Amino acid sequence: GNSVTQMEGPVTLSEEAFLTINCTYTATGYPSLFWYVQYPGEGLQLLLKATKADDKGSNKGFEATYRKETTSFHLEKGSVQVSDSAVYFCALTDRDDKIIFGKGTRLHILP
């Protein structure tokens, strides 16, 4: 079945460091891919999305490119801030329109 695998956390970085959170997926067809972020005590917020191969989603300095050949959707940011500390979820929508999430990656940014 469809699934999403993302790197285990927690990931701890210093402020202004480069961030990569890996995400790979298994799916039939051409799912839409998402990154959601969950700040402490809150629900999930959509960070970015891509709906077809080679699309690049971007928002708030974060980027991810839909790579069909490697079935990946890695999240990157050039210079992280303390306020980026949160849990990040990679997700896809399958053919039944269900959204399938990865386990989440907790990110800690140190000042």
Partner 1 sequence: KAGVTQTPRYLIKTRGQQVTLSCSPISGHRSVSWYQQTPGQGLQFLFEYFSETQRNKGNFPGRFSGRQFSNSRSEMNVSTLELGDSALYLCASSDYNRLAGGTDTQYFGPGTRLTVL
Binding site for partner 1 (CB under 8 A): 32, 34, 36, 42-46, 49, 89, 93, 96-104
| Closest distance of CB 93 from partner 1, Å | 5
Q: Which is nearer to partner 1, 11 or 100 (CB)?
A: 100
Q: Tokens for 100, please give them.
A: 């399938």
Q: What is the CA radius of gyration of the chain?
A: 13
Cβ–Cβ < 8 Å for 68, 92: no
| Closest distance of CB 98 from partner 1, Å | 5
Cβ–Cβ < 8 Å for 32, 93: yes
| Closest distance of CB 104 from partner 1, Å | 6
